[in-house]
Each structure stands twice: as structure tokens, then as C-alpha cells.
């Protein structure tokens, strides 16, 4: 198999979207709602989650395996939208007031975004994310106005049903798929069973 071409550099962050997940309580099957844009993305950091497991025998490393538990992420935004707070964090809205309750249960979601590149912007999707409440901070205005940002901490784990963690595009992607990346969450086509 020929390897795809790659961008030489990456820069910028834009087109951050989220897609709430619908999980079938009986089968565990996952589907996604239509992605919604989160404006004002400032930065995104993903740290690999997992560890190397070494088993020692015969006075040496007898077996070694790296586990892939997805990523721990941090998304910095100009301001987190109230729509995200309602859809994902389970905040409620009544008569012009947003409410947060201790019994809220956050909802899993897919996170879509892109980094710019010298050949073509690379689009990404993280398939199974869960967010914690964002930081809340502010400071007094000085001689100049300096916008304050919101930071959303989240985990991106393997999908419970397929174990897929993420996907990203290459410059060779079909143009129609590339253009529709933010219209619906792209998932890998199911593989035919062996021997069929």
C-alpha cells in the first residue's frame, strides 16, 4: 500500500464543531447528531492517554504492549456557547437564565476541527469525548481591553462499540467527503467478515 502524502507544516486551528452522541440503551450502538459549530477557537492540546505495560520473565522484558486510551484534551475558546452548555453539559435555560445543577450528567460527543497545512487543511474527528465543566475566570479592565478565554477540559476515549479513537484527512481525500466533513460525523465503513 502506498503511503499518503503529508503536509510539511501545520498551523492554525479553526472549524471546531461538536456532535452530540446518541447511544442505544439496548444495543450500545452509537449514532451522531448533526455537528454544530463552536466559534472562537484559540488553541487545542491533546495528550495521549495510556501507558506501556511490561511483563518481565527470564531476567528481561518478556512482553511489552502500549495501551491506547485515547487522549486528554484542553480546548481554549473565546467563550463557550450556551448551546454547548445545554447540549453537552446539561445546563438548563429558563426565562433568560442559565442554570447549573449538581445532579447534571454530561453527554458524550464527537469533536471535529482542522489545522491548516501547506498542501491542504487536515480535518479531524475525535469519536467519543466527555467534557468537564469549564473554568470560569475574569479580571478587571485596565488601560486596554484584554479578552478572557474559557478552557474546556475533556477526554477523548475509544468508542465503546468500535474502539475507534479518531480519524483525520490526507490531501488525497475524496473532495466530496472533504467538503461534507462538518455536515455529519464520518465513520469508517464496516469491514466484511473474513471468509465471506
| Residue 91 located in a structural domain | yes
| Residue 184 located in a structural domain | no
Whichever domain contains 114, its CATH number is: 2.30.110
Residue 17 confidence (pLDDT) above 90 = yes
Q: The domain containing residue 126 runs over which residues?
A: 34-179
Residue 92 CA, distance from chain mean position: 23
| Residue 71 located in a structural domain | yes
User: What is residue 192's predicted lDDT score, i.e. its pLDDT?
Assistant: 59
| Residue 153 located in a structural domain | yes
User: What is residue 129's predicted lDDT score, i.e. its pLDDT?
Assistant: 97
User: Which helix (H) or strand (E) segment is 53 a member of?
Assistant: strand 52-57
User: What is residue 191's predicted lDDT score, i.e. its pLDDT?
Assistant: 66
Task: Encode pLDDT of 19-68 as tens digits.
Answer: 999 999 898 889 999 999 999 999 999 999 977 777 777 777 777 777 88
User: What is residue 146's predicted lDDT score, i.e. its pLDDT?
Assistant: 75
Place of cell 469533536: 111
User: Which helix (H) or strand (E) segment is 87 a member of?
Assistant: helix 82-87
| Residue 43 located in a structural domain | yes
Q: Which residues contact 62 (CB under 8 A, 6 or more apart)?
A: 55, 56
Give percent of the chain with pLDDT exceeding 90: 60
Give percent of the chain with pLDDT exceeding 70: 95
Backbone torsions φ then ψ of 183, nearest 5 degrees:
-90, -30
Task: Encode pLDDT of 106-153 as tens digits.
Answer: 999 999 999 988 778 999 999 999 999 887 776 777 777 777 888 999
Q: What is the pTM of this model?
A: 0.85
| Residue 154 located in a structural domain | yes
Residue 151 CA, distance from chain mean position: 14
Residue 177 confidence (pLDDT) above 90 = yes
- Region 163-189: mean pLDDT is 93
User: What is residue 16's predicted lDDT score, i.e. its pLDDT?
Assistant: 97
Band (76; pLDDT cuts 50, 70, 90): very high
| Residue 193 located in a structural domain | no
| Residue 167 located in a structural domain | yes
Amino acid at each position: 500500500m502506498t503511503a499518503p502524502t503529508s503536509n510539511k507544516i501545520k498551523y492554525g486551528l479553526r472549524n471546531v464543531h461538536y456532535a452530540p452522541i446518541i447511544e442505544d440503551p439496548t444495543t450500545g450502538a452509537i449514532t451522531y447528531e448533526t455537528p454544530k459549530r463552536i466559534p472562537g477557537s484559540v488553541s487545542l492540546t491533546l495528550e495521549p492517554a495510556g501507558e506501556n505495560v511490561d511483563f518481565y520473565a527470564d531476567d528481561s522484558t518478556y512482553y511489552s504492549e502500549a495501551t491506547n486510551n485515547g487522549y486528554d484534551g484542553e480546548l481554549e475558546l473565546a467563550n463557550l456557547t450556551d448551546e454547548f452548555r445545554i447540549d453537552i453539559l446539561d445546563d438548563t435555560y429558563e426565562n433568560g437564565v442559565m442554570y447549573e445543577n449538581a445532579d447534571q450528567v454530561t453527554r458524550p460527543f464527537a469533536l471535529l476541527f482542522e489545522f491548516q497545512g501547506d498542501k491542504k487543511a487536515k480535518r479531524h474527528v475525535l469519536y467519543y469525548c466527555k467534557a468537564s465543566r469549564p473554568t470560569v475566570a475574569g479580571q478587571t479592565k485596565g488601560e486596554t481591553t484584554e479578552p478572557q478565554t474559557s478552557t474546556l477540559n475533556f477526554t477523548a476515549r475509544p468508542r465503546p462499540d468500535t474502539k475507534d479513537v479518531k480519524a483525520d484527512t490526507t490531501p488525497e481525500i475524496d473532495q466530496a467527503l472533504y467538503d461534507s466533513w462538518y455536515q455529519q460525523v464520518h465513520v469508517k465503513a464496516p469491514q466484511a467478515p473474513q471468509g465471506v
